Structures are given as structure tokens and as C-alpha cells.
Structure 1
Amino acid sequence: MTFSSNNEFTSRALSVLRIVSAYLLIQHGAAKLLGFPHVAFFDGLQIFSMLGAAGILELVGGALLLIGLFTRPVAFVLSGLLAFAYFIGHASKGFVLSPMLNQGEAAVLFCFVFLFIAVAGAGVWSVDAMRLAKKGA
């Protein structure tokens, strides 16, 4: 059994990667904007701040990715957001040391997962796939 990019199993695995990554990102946005899960660092967060803007992108972009709507452009924007988050929030704590030591591993991993999704697409379990199938029918 080979696993090509057209393989049904591969497309399902891509969908699972997108859904799980989106779910995790939504938690970051929800913590910033909704206070759940509670993270003391975000207490009193101003919505018109860099962290507030990041929270909006995480919550709205994460929700769009979760359902697989406008996946490629949303994932590309989120990849940029996470690259920005790494260089602003983590690399300043010791870029040379490594993401493991400056607590930037999640930002780097999210960045490249979303960049992959931007290139690969949403997978079979998505609104994008349903819209494409309906358009082709």
C-alpha cells in the first residue's frame, strides 16, 4: 500500500492534523479573549493590543480551520502570526539558545503545521472539500 498525496487515508490524516491543530489554537485565543482556560498572564488583556489581535486571529482563524473553511489563506495567515509570535515573544528571550529554552516550541511547530496546511489544503473532512465536490457535481 502506497501513500501518495491523492490517497484517501492521507487526506483523512491531513483533516485530523488540521482539526486537532485548530482545536489547540482555539484554546490559545479563548484563553486570551474569553478567560477560559484561565491563564493569569492574560488577565486584563486589552483587545486592541498585539496579544488581543493575536487572540482574535487565533479564535476566528482557529474556528475557520476547525471546520475547514477558506483553509489555505487562513492557514497561511496563521502561519505568519505564529512566526511573528515566535520572533516577538520568544526569540527575544534567547534566540541562539533554541526554542526549547525560550518556550517557543509550540509557536514554531504551529507555524510550520499551518504552513504545511496552507500548501496541502484542508483534507477530505472539510467545508472546502464539500464546496469543491458540490461545484464539480
Structure 2
Amino acid sequence: MAFDRLRGPVLSLFRMVTGLLFLLHGTASLFGVLGGNRGTGLAVELGTWPSWWAALIQLVCGTLVLAGLATRVSAVVASGSMAYAYFVVHQPEGLLPLNNGGELSAMYCWAFLLIAALGPGTWALDTLLDRLRGSGAHGSGAFPEHGTA
């Protein structure tokens, strides 16, 4: 099918946008820029649990996912951190994400789980490194450039 050729690039774009947005959350929380932690204009206090650690995960994993480097591991860590955020911070406030303010955490959790399962796509440092090594085994995930998925 004609659309099959777009799978790798579209997955790459999805990964890059998701990573960038996650990275921006971490940057805002850690450094008090871009609106700061939850729009307060302030940075979270160094070392505080869980907010500072969550922001560090957002910054590091967001950067790695954006670049497509150590993508699957970074996406699993990011997904887990968002599951933690949902169940520990949001879910006690109400059952449904719409009622407890956890929509963003839930969406990030599932988006990163999808990235972990499907891989980084064709435009990623992981894919480039696989090609340079000659393996090509996991770099483009479930959607190799040639052949069928």
C-alpha cells in the first residue's frame, strides 16, 4: 500500500514531537522557564520527591526520545513515570482522567508505551547506529524501510 511507506517517518515524527513536549515540561519544571512548574514561573526545589525527579526524567528521557537514542528504554522509563504520576497524584482525586486532571499523564503514558513497543521509526539515531553496525534489527521498530511490516 502507498501509505505503508509513511509508517517509519510518521512514527519518527510522533516520537520527536512527544519527546520535545516532554522535554519542555522537564525544562520548565527544573529551571523555572517557559512558565515554570505547572505554570507558576518557579522551578521545583532541587532533589524534592517526586517533583524534581519527575522533571529530571522528563528532561533526560524527553531529550533521548526526541533524538531517537536509547529510545525504547527511555520511552519505558517515561511511560512508567507517567503511570506513577497518574496513579499516585491524579487518580486519588477521582476515577476518570477528565475529572482528576490526569489526562496529560495518561496520554504521555500510553504515547511512550507505543513508542517503546514500535521503536523509534526511520529518522532516529538508534536507526542510524543500527545501519552503521549493519544489523538494522530493531532501529526502525515494527516498520522496516523495505519489505512488509
> Which residue in 1 is equivalent to 2:124?
126
Q: CA deviation at 1:2?
A: 5.9
Structure 1: gaps of 5 or more residues: none
Provide Cα deviations, 1:55-87, integer angstroms capped at 9, x if missing partner: 000001100111000000110011000000111
Q: Is 1:72 aligned to 2:69, yes or no?
A: no
Q: Is 1:21 aligned to 2:18, yes or no?
A: yes
Distance 1:44 1:122, change over 3 A: closer
Distance 1:68 1:62, change over 3 A: same
CA distance in 1, matches of 2:28, 2:75: 20
Amino acid across the alignment from 1:132: D
Alignment of 1:86-101 (within 5 A): 86-95=86-95, 98-101=96-99
**Paired residues of 2:33 and 2:42 also in contact (CA < 8 A):** no
Equivalent pairs counted in the alignment come to: 131
Amino acid across the alignment from 2:89: G
Distance 1:131 1:33, change over 3 A: same
Amino acid across the alignment from 1:111: C
CA distance in 1, matches of 2:127, 2:107: 25
CA distance in 2, matches of 1:34, 1:8: 40
> Which residue in 1 is equivalent to 2:114?
116
Percent sequence identity is: 35
TM-score (norm 2): 0.83
CA distance in 1, matches of 2:100, 2:94: 6
Distance 1:70 1:94, change over 3 A: same
> Which residue in 2 is equivalent to 1:31?
28
TM-score (norm 1): 0.90
Q: Is 1:104 aligned to 2:76, yes or no?
A: no
Structure 2: gaps of 5 or more residues: 136-149
Q: Which has the higher contact order (CA 8 A, sep 6+)?
A: 1
